[in-house]
Amino acid sequence: MGIQTMMVIGAGQMGSGIAQVAATAGFRVILNDIQDEFIQRGLKGIQKNLTRDVEKGRKTEQEKAEILARIEPSTDLQAAAQTDFVIEAIIENLDKKAEIFRQLDAICPPQTILASNTSSLPITEIAAVTNRPEKVIGMHFMNPVPVMKLIEVIRGLATSDETYQIVEDLSKKMQKIPVEVNDFPGFISNRVLMPMINEAIYCVYEGVAKPEAIDQIMKLGMNHPMGPLTLADFIGLDTCLYIMEVLHEGFGDSKYRPCPLLRKYVKAGWLGKKSGRGFFRYES
């Protein structure tokens, strides 16, 4: 595969999870963010996950120490010059992601593959700002990264077969199951999931049933481990709204129109679990 050093850009929940599974697979990982405090917070989360693994007998103290030793913090994007592979895991904003890829294209060696952990944004557009579109690909990890097995691997219009194969092999080395998807708004996971969540919100909006009832019906009737409204609260209602807007704009189809109640909650600051209130209330 030829990949030894990887940079993960963004040390939040997704980025730190990706750094953890990459370091566990034996890669040297540069964990990058704009401020050291964000990186330290991410490293604390990784340490907590690994300590839990040790307590449950899944890893030894030595394995934990070796994994942590393979992760190197950096606030300097220029460190990407040392890498064979970069995974970007910053916020879902096309302009911000495009700017990062533009910079990476100038910094990284020609052979370096650039991947985005975007959950809905077009890989083809991100790739178009670089001079290596054949080496740009989507790797949509699921949350929480250390636990969830799936990686949606998204081919942009120009992504080469060689790049796809390297990413498929890399995913397997990280003990994940890669699934190939072409570049359409929302890919598969969010194109199917978000309209279901949006429809559940419409059921609340139209007074069909209370949130508890809707979730119970989906859990007991459809065998879902979590109801759609609880899941929306965990994802973040602002994120759900953003993805619905990407789908609505990308397809121009009214079936993807975000529910007005979803907009109202986001404007009110009721973003779900992270703000203490969404469709349900959460203790801080």
Greatest CA separation found in the chain?
56
pLDDT at 283: 86
Mean pLDDT of the chain: 96
pLDDT tens digits along 72-122: 999 999 999 999 999 999 998 999 999 999 999 999 999 999 999 999 999
Mean pLDDT calculated for residue range 49-56: 96
Residue 127 above 90 pLDDT? Answer: yes
Residue 284 above 90 pLDDT? Answer: no
Residue 242: which of 173, 194, 284 has the closest Cα?
Answer: 194
Distance CA 117, CA 50 (A): 22
Tokens of 76: 């300097």
Distance CA 164, CA 159 (A): 7
Mean pLDDT calculated for residue range 148-161: 97
Tokens of 218: 């989906």
259 versus 283: which is more confidently predicted? 259
Query: What one-character-per-residue DSSP string does the chain give?
Result: ----EEEEE--SHHHHHHHHHHHHTT-EEEEE-SSHHHHHHHHHHHHHHHHHHHHTTSS-HHHHHHHHHTEEEES-GGGGGG-SEEEE---S-HHHHHHHHHHHHHHS-TT-EEEE--SSS-HHHHHHTSS-GGGEEEEEEPSSTTT--EEEEEE-TT--HHHHHHHHHHHHHTT-EEEEEES-TTTTHHHHHHHHHHHHHHHHHTTSS-HHHHHHHHHHHH--SS-HHHHHHHH-HHHHHHHHHHHHHHH--GGGPPPHHHHHHHHTT--BGGGTBSSSB---
pLDDT at 1: 59
Which of the four pLDDT bands, split at 50, 70 and 90, describes residue 2?
Answer: confident
Distance CA 171, CA 266 (A): 34
Which of the four pLDDT bands, split at 50, 70 and 90, describes residue 3?
Answer: very high
Residues 78/85, Cβ–Cβ less than 8 Å: no
- pTM (2 decimals)? 0.91
Mean pLDDT calculated for residue range 167-177: 97
Which of the four pLDDT bands, split at 50, 70 and 90, describes residue 177?
Answer: very high
Catalytic site positions = 119, 140, 152, 190
Mean pLDDT calculated for residue range 5-32: 97
Mean pLDDT calculated for residue range 158-180: 97
pLDDT tens digits along 221-230: 999 999 999 9
Counting residues of the chain whose pLDDT is more than 90, the rounded percentage is: 96
Residues 142/193, Cβ–Cβ less than 8 Å: no
Amino acid at 111: Q
